[in-house]
Structure 1
Amino acid sequence: MPAAVYLLGLTIFSLVTAEFMVAGMMPALAEDFSVSLAQVGNLIAFYALGMALGAPPVTVLVVARGIGNKRALLGLLVVYVLSAALGAAAPSYTVLLLARVLMGVSSAACIGLCMTLCASLVAPAARGRAVAVVLAGLMLSPVIGVPLTNIVEHHFGWRASAWLIVALSLLCAVLVATCLKPSAGDRQTPLRQQWLSLGNPALWGAYLTSGLIIGATFAGFSYITPILLDAVGVLPSQVAPLLALYGVANVLGNLLVGRIADSHTYSALGWGLVLLMLAMAGFAMAGQVVWLNLGCFIAIGLTGVALNPAMVARVMKAAEPGALVNALHTSVITAGLALGSWAGGAAIDAGYGLRAPLWVGAVLALCGVLSLLRPWLGARTATPCNAV
């Protein structure tokens, strides 16, 4: 695997760590800016909103101007570093919120470009494995990145954690500028051709399945701490190790799916969704059986987000992986995350109990299976014919 693929993984690691680090420092931010925890939570929500709504127009602008993928990634990383620095030095909550929106917009566009560059660095048959390496940065973020920023915040304050993200992002920008060599895939596909790619129904089918997978996962995971504490009966001191174990399951699942994403794309997605649905439903019905609760929790970690390599491989098979195609995929995934989190919270507010988000996740996973059923069965019946 080319070294540049690992560099792209490090870049995504820094971007995703910045997105979720706020969750580990909510009390400090609330106290420093004299705002409520709900307002601090908006720092994550508006980052996600920037990712979902900002990436497509920024990418269209980049493609329309014919800026090469490497130059575009470098330029957006510079914007990201400046936005992160504004957030680290923010004198008020409003300035920090604005900085987070700008970070979200540039982050989503950067992730899309990382996927495009990754596809250009390897042969088509190896794209799934290469994407798994790049997305390992996403999987390692909750295991290493977010806990590290939490430790730094605990000892030196939240601004020190924010400046750490600035330094890491700046390092990525420097490495992209000096180590990422231009390739044939660095040239932008003309905007008209990328627009035409968006007319492919198979591509939107892939987008729909991806959004449902992430929505199903985060419907339950967004509320996992109160579920573990109040519904399962886990001790507060045990939550962090369990979340770390979940993160390890994410990494292992990502590597496994990455191995089969190219050759068995639909099977990986289909069986992964079935397992996710069963794990969500099993977790919802596990009652006080601790081993069943924790087993289902880890099973969600092995599927869910870990299906990303197969999700990306399906998108790359449906359309040429241009910057706009990948940016829209990132936006759809982010929208699915927001939908799942909102639906899970709405189920709790409606009085259905703490485990209600798990049922929401199971229903969304079932919808994902249904969205995949036709192409999955088509791929299974086509395989023997191809072999003959």
Structure 2
Amino acid sequence: MPFAIYVLGLGIFTMVTSEFLVAGLMPQLSEDLGTGIPQIGYLVSVYAAAMALGGPLLTALMLRLRQKTALVLLYAVFLAGQALGALATGYGLMVAARLVTGAASGAFFGVALAVCVRITGPEVRGRATSIVLGGLMVGTVLGLPLSQLAGEQYGWRFAFWAVAALAALALAVTCGAVPALPKEETGGAGGSVRAELGAFRNARLWAAFATSMLIIGATFAAFSYFVPILTDVTGFAAGTVPLLLVVYGAATVVGNAVVGRLADRHTMTVLGTGLALNTVFLTVFALGAGNAVTALAAMTGIGLVGVTMNPAMVTRVMRTANDRPLVNTVHTSFITLGVVVGSWVGGIGVAHWGLRAPLWTGAVMAVLGLLTLLPDALRRPASSASSDSSASDGSSARSAADPSLPTTERPTRV
């Protein structure tokens, strides 16, 4: 496994930590910026919106660059935004900082995944993707409490500068560890926006995007409200909940590693099994939220099969279209949209039906995710039903090598 893979994971960890940074610093930010707590909460949404909308635009502007050059420039943009946030004296400047860092983060995900595919062999590609995306899992689990601790001890500006320093370290290591791939070997380099956009004419790609959005939406519909559910419905003490969330976070790390090992050979099976299990766990949680053992077991299960589907989701998208930065960045936008939609719909459920509603909402979204897999499952010829491995070679990003295509869409050999 190339060392560069771990460096890419460090970069994603840094940017995910920045995304959730303000959530742990709300009181300090509210006081210093002269605004209310809800307005500080909106800064998370601003970052997510910038990832979803600004990320693809920023990626499109960098298509003609070598991918290593694009990574370096994205780090530079991110560092500028992070420094602006650390120096902000008003809410407007902080919003601008979040827009800059969010757009850089969204584009970074896409380019990092494209580089990951280029520097690894097909036999380890799924595991490599899981390591890069492991930065997302670890950032979600550790980024928020670490930033909160740093903010409480040294102030919120120190926390912002600490993330900037980590990004600078990641940039320095990237310059030495990530190879400078030639233009002809890098998917987006030397290409054009028109050529990249051609991939989006594939209806199956949009179905894959929809699956990813629903997988993440189902998980975050529940995850966003774990704390009030565990305290007000299950009855755990408030001081116990952080420990329970660490258990959930550890489950996501384990699940991500397992899915990474299976994603290449059994992509569709992993996605279908994960969605089915998540439906079960969310339903069990909704029915048994009043029991501590049931709630903890179901929450751990959601951690194992929720966001951990990311490596399989990425593999499916790359096989359906290509492994280039723009496709990966737009995919990241749909994943981010899943976070937003899941949390929003879950909140509507809480307002109308109580704290168990987000769990039911997540279960419904998981079922819808299963339905989006049906067209691909029905199109697969019986001969390929036993394994997904035939498309895991270096050309698997192209539709001709995708085993999920019907026989009539494959090239005829004479």
TM-score by shorter chain over 0.5: yes
Where structure 2 has 5 or more consecutive residues not aligned to the other structure, the ranges are 391-414
Instruction: Give the CA deviation at 1:144.
Output: 2.4
2:310 counterpart residue number: 308
2:362 counterpart residue number: 361
Please give the per-residue CA displacement for 1:132-177, whole angstroms capped at 9, x wherever unaligned: 0101111111232222111111111111111100000111112222
Corresponding position: 1:143 with 2:149: no
SS of alignment partner, residue 342 of structure 1 = helix
Over aligned residue pairs, what C-alpha RMSD do you find?
A: 1.6
Contact 1:223–1:357 (8 Å) recurs in 2: yes
Instruction: Give the CA deviation at 1:27.
Output: 1.9
Corresponding position: 1:370 with 2:371: yes
Q: Which runs of 4+ in 1 moved over 4 A?
A: 377-380, 384-387
Please give the per-residue CA displacement for 1:208-236, whole angstroms capped at 9, x wherever unaligned: 10011011111111111111111111111
Contact 2:127–2:261 (8 Å) recurs in 1: yes
TM-score by length of 2: 0.90
Instruction: Give the CA deviation at 1:380.
Output: 7.8
Q: In the aligned structure 2, how far is the partner of 1:97 from the partner of 1:173? A: 24
What is the number of equivalent residue pairs in this alignment? 384
Identity of paired residues, percent? Answer: 42
Contact 2:48–2:336 (8 Å) recurs in 1: yes
Please give the per-residue CA displacement for 1:255-305, whole angstroms capped at 9, x wherever unaligned: 000000000000100000011111111111114211111111111100111
Q: Which of the pair is proportionally richer in helix?
A: 1
Q: In the aligned structure 1, how far is the partner of 2:361 from the partner of 2:6? A: 35
1:279 counterpart residue number: 281
Among 242, 245, 251, which residue is 1:243 paired with? Answer: 245
Instruction: Give the CA deviation at 1:33.
Output: 2.1
Contact 1:231–1:354 (8 Å) recurs in 2: yes
Contact 1:189–1:322 (8 Å) recurs in 2: no
Contact 1:70–1:186 (8 Å) recurs in 2: no
Q: In the aligned structure 2, how far is the partner of 1:36 from the partner of 1:359? A: 31
1:2 counterpart residue number: 2
Instruction: Give the CA deviation at 1:193.
Output: 2.8
Instruction: Give the CA deviation at 1:341.
Output: 0.8
Q: In the aligned structure 2, how far is the partner of 1:84 from the partner of 1:37? A: 21
Distance verdict in 2 for CA 1:212–1:90, change over 3 Å: same
Q: In the aligned structure 2, how far is the partner of 1:11 from the partner of 1:57? A: 20
2:58 counterpart residue number: 58
Instruction: Give the CA deviation at 1:181.
Output: 1.5
Please give the per-residue CA displacement for 1:80-121, whole angstroms capped at 9, x wherever unaligned: 001000001111121111101111011100111000000101
Contact 2:65–2:190 (8 Å) recurs in 1: no
Where structure 1 has 5 or more consecutive residues not aligned to the other structure, the ranges are none
When structure 1 is superposed on structure 2, of 260-269 and 288-297 the one drifting more is 288-297
When structure 1 is superposed on structure 2, of 223-232 and 245-254 the one drifting more is 223-232
Instruction: Give the CA deviation at 1:123.
Output: 2.0
Q: Which amino acid aligns with 2:303?
A: G
Among 111, 126, 129, which residue is 1:128 paired with? Answer: 126
Among 59, 68, 71, which residue is 1:70 paired with? Answer: 68
Contact 1:267–1:376 (8 Å) recurs in 2: no
2:112 counterpart residue number: 114
